[in-house]
Chains A and B, each alone.
Chain A
Amino acid sequence: MRKLTTALLTTALLIAGCGNDTGETPETLRLVAHDSFADAVTDETFRAFTEETGIEVEVLAAGDAGSMVTQAVLTAGNPTADVMFGVDDTFLSRALDGDIFTEHTSALIDTVPDSLKLGPENLVTPIDFGDVCLNYDKEWFASTQIHVPTKLDDLRSDVYAGALVVEHPATSSPGLAFMLATIDEFGEDGWLDFWEDLRDKGVEVVPDWTTAYYEDFTRYGGDRSMVVSYASSPPAEVIFAEEPLDAAPTGVIEAGCYRQVEFAGVLDGTEYPEAAGDLIDFMLSVPFQETIPINWFVFPANSEAELPQEFVEHTVIPDDPTQLDPQYIADNREAWIQQWADLMEG
């Protein structure tokens, strides 16, 4: 019932927004996003929005999230697009400091759990979240009869020596997220000691996720049975399997997950602030939110959206993931990465 109400409300708002005579109705709205979002956009993605409002959506791809935010800060007030999507919690404070957004509070903001609202609600709207978690190879753990670790501290044990591959936090977004998770877990005084132990136990460091997952992970013929990946990786293994699978071949370790939240905002200087706001509301509405997992392998921010069956069966959404304050991250990230690099490469 609540779902129906929301849907009706959304439609009503969209129609109202469209018929509003104070704001102009553009033929096309431009949405700037990072490559990994833009690359999966098809003709279907915004079709419902175009049918309801008559407005076409043109998607601009702007590199990785960092490049996108940098570009937006450089063009603050004279943006290349009307809406930005995909700024995450690690880049949020840079975007806010750069004054790139103008006010818009989504009509559906109450559907979003408070834990995702890491920024001012009137400037940025959470659209999705994804958990960076350790994944493990079920077959390897079954055949060696070693227990799957249940907390990060377990990784210090000799049992897991040479079993883990991580991505470098300077070149990889999951790598950075996992480093942040260890800072939250062990505190500023203890996290480097933890990494020193991992180093002594032979942790492998690689530049990017693709190398870690496809070269080093035992699932793909490597020699590491645990990899820093996503909570959505096991369902992806099932969805993209060559032969149909009953169960995911990989599992998620719930301890030490880091939750990345992605936000959308109306770019300051747009000619069409109202239509831009409508687009954000559309992206937070249930029909769009329910297409998010299968297309982008992250989870909907709207708590009323339902997950596809593969996701319900093959993943876990950690109860208590790590999150750090965006400002705290922005203030310390450079120093943390440097300390980490000095330790691991020194």
Chain B
Amino acid sequence: MPTRRIRWGWVAVAALPALFLTYFFAYPLGRILSLGLSEMSIGSTGLQSRLVSVGWFTLWQATLSTVLTFIFAAPMTWAVGRYEFRGRKLAMALVTVPFVLPTVVVGTAFVALGWRESIGAILAAHVFFNVAVVVRTVGSQWRRLDPDLLNAAATLGASPLEVMRRVTLPLLRPSLAAAASIVFLFTFTSFGVILILGGFTFATLEVEIYRQAIVLFDLPLAAALAVIQLVGVSLALYLYSRYQERHSASWELASEDAVPRPAGRARIGVYGSIIGTLAVLAIPLAVLLTRSLGSFDDLFAADLIVGSPVEAIRNSLLTAVAATAIALVIGIMAATFVSHRSGTLSRWFDTTLMLPLGTSAVAIGLGFIVALDWPVDLRASLALVPIAHALVAIPFVVRIVLPTMRSIDPDLRHAAATLGAKPISVWRRVDLPLVSRAALVAAGFSVVISLGEFGATTFVARPNTATIPTLIFRLLSRPGPASFGTAMALSIVLAALTAAVILWVDRFRVGDIGSF
């Protein structure tokens, strides 16, 4: 075997993601943390007790939020993962809508519903925002499970519950773990939800970092908190990555055409789950809708002084396309490397790819400003916005694509190689077609992340091009019934746009995937 040549190929595959993450993540973060820590004086008073309480709250609310999100998402995930039915794609698009809505908009809806300043409101909002992560990540893998395996177990006398517990769940473990890790990281670093629905009483590490760095300008303390957050996240991710590596088995991916239609009681269960889940998610949206009535005309009125919604929609879409392209290229290259190589290096690489999700947005934002003036001054460049969005999206791409890649039977690749295919054409002919479905799911997520992203980029000086979330904030910050109504109307437009994008992405079925 020409091992030498293959290894150099892997170096090339790993190089681009590694360079990207080093320059846009590790280097800025390192600069800002060392700047903060170099001024650190040991023994700040009262710090430790504050740290313990903030750290503990961050950990338990993230854990609880993740568990609750899974419980709430379970029925719908089962329905879309197990069955094919009319309206499934629409349901998948609709469940994604909460994920993009700006925190402040959802916050006002929750407050209007009487949920305010309580841990209950925080948890409910976290579930609301993250249901889509579970449904889409787990549901898409479920559909590719070989139905023969499940049927065989049933034929052998296993009850439906036993099939679920002993066959389905173990096979789904990679995507369950992936979804859990993403939801956990999102809620672990939660910022806007905590500020708006938690008042001052509840603070996560991220909120405390913001408070120390921006409000009180105590950079050393903020840097110390960011390091603690980073260490905690790294540890959790390392354990997760070991777990995932150990528990992912290769199995044959089935064609989605084999997914059955529900009949009898299953039919009631499917539609009950879908309608029930969407109805609950629709409650806050209904509040927005009633408040936006009558304001849709204003949206496209020429004299809206805060900027053109049409232009904001265009800017948002362009940014989303750029961010998605970056995230797919970097994410798929990285996932290819991780899935083909085992061992410490690959594991660390895998962990590092997830880190941006679990790292303080305040720290990364300030890091950009301090570090990215070399070799070219990118600090105020338009490119920084999609790059920041891509940093958030890459972990999604990797987490969604990796389970599928790992599950590709190596025999397929070996067969292709034995038949004389070069590594690159093995990848193109074997891996790519199998992965493209997962890549599409990932692309959908990247677009949606970019459309709704507000947090990470607010700590960077960026060229003033209005996007939809920016315009919503602008409208919400001035008095007058017309402004408020228009902001709500624009939120509905954002929701509709999200649903449309997801429906459009879901239409693509690249080549004849699955029919092998």
Contact = CB atoms under 8 A, between A and B. Distances in A.
Interface of A: 30, 32, 35-36, 38-42, 58-64, 66-68, 70-71, 73-75, 78, 80-81, 94, 168, 170-171, 205-211, 213-215, 220, 229-230, 233, 236-237, 239-242, 294-295, 297, 334, 341, 345
B370 A74 contact: yes
A179 to B, nearest CB: 13
Interface stretch (B142-150, B441-449, B457-465): B457-465
Given A58-B463, A94-B217, A240-B481, A215 B306 contact: no
Most chain A C-beta atoms within 10 Å of own C-beta, residue among B32, B108, B199, B370: B199
A160 to B, nearest CB: 22
A71 B206 CA distance: 18
Q: Which 9 A-B pairs have the closest CB atoms?
A: A240-B480, A62-B461, A39-B474, A59-B464, A66-B214, A240-B482, A38-B464, A236-B479, A60-B461
B199 A67 contact: no
Most chain A C-beta atoms within 10 Å of own C-beta, residue among B200, B201, B476, B485: B200
B373 interface: yes
B470 interface: yes
Contact of B380 (A60, A68, A214, A297): A60
Interface of B: 32, 35, 104, 107-108, 111-112, 116-117, 195-196, 199-201, 211, 213-217, 294, 305-307, 365-366, 369-370, 373, 379-380, 458-464, 466, 470-471, 473-474, 476-485
B111 to A, nearest CB: 5
A32 B365 CA distance: 15
A240 B479 contact: yes
A236 B480 contact: yes
Given A210-B104, A345-B201, A32 B196 contact: no
A211 B483 contact: no
13 contacts: A36-B477, A40-B305, A42-B305, A58-B463, A61-B461, A66-B215, A71-B369, A81-B380, A170-B200, A171-B195, A207-B117, A208-B196, A214-B476
Contact of A215 (B108, B466, B471, B477): B108
Nearest to B197: A207
Nearest to B35: A74
A81 B380 CA distance: 8
B216 A39 contact: no
Given A75-B369, A171-B195, A30 B380 contact: yes
Contacts of B201: 345
A207 B464 contact: no
B482 A71 contact: no
Nearest to B476: A210
A67 B458 contact: yes
A207 B307 contact: no
A341 to B, nearest CB: 6
Contacts, number: 148
A225 to B, nearest CB: 15
Contacts of A168: 199-200
Contact of A211 (B111, B211, B306): B111
A28 to B, nearest CB: 11
Contact of B195 (A39, A58, A207, A220): A207
Contacts of A242: 294, 481-482, 485
A61 B211 CA distance: 20
A209 B484 CA distance: 13
Contacts of B479: 213, 229-230, 233, 236-237, 240
Contacts of B485: 242
A73 B36 CA distance: 13
B79 to A, nearest CB: 35
Given A58-B463, A62-B461, A240-B483, A39 B473 contact: yes
Most chain A C-beta atoms within 10 Å of own C-beta, residue among B201, B213, B461, B470: B461
A341 B461 contact: no
Contacts of B379: 75, 80
A70 B35 CA distance: 13
Given A81-B380, A209-B477, A214 B484 contact: yes
Given A40-B307, A214-B484, 7 more contacts: A39-B470, A59-B463, A61-B470, A78-B373, A80-B369, A220-B484, A294-B305
A58 B381 CA distance: 11
Contact of A205 (B199, B461, B471, B483): B199
Contacts of A205: 199
A67 B214 contact: yes
A64 B214 contact: yes
B84 to A, nearest CB: 43
A341 B214 contact: no
Nearest to B203: A170
A237 B217 CA distance: 36
Contact of B112 (A61, A170, A171, A215): A215
Given A75-B370, A171-B195, A207-B195, A67 B459 contact: yes
Contact of B461 (A41, A66, A80, A294): A80
B488 to A, nearest CB: 10
B180 to A, nearest CB: 29
A119 B474 CA distance: 29
Nearest to B201: A345
B480 A239 contact: yes
B462 A60 contact: yes
Contacts of B466: 39
Most chain B C-beta atoms within 10 Å of own C-beta, residue among A61, A220, A239: A61
Given A59-B464, A60-B461, A70 B214 contact: yes
Most chain A C-beta atoms within 10 Å of own C-beta, residue among B380, B459, B464: B464
A305 to B, nearest CB: 19
B200 A341 contact: yes
B512 to A, nearest CB: 47
A229 B459 CA distance: 26
Given A71-B369, A229-B479, A61 B474 contact: no
A171 B217 CA distance: 14
Given A42-B307, A60-B380, A60-B461, A36 B112 contact: no
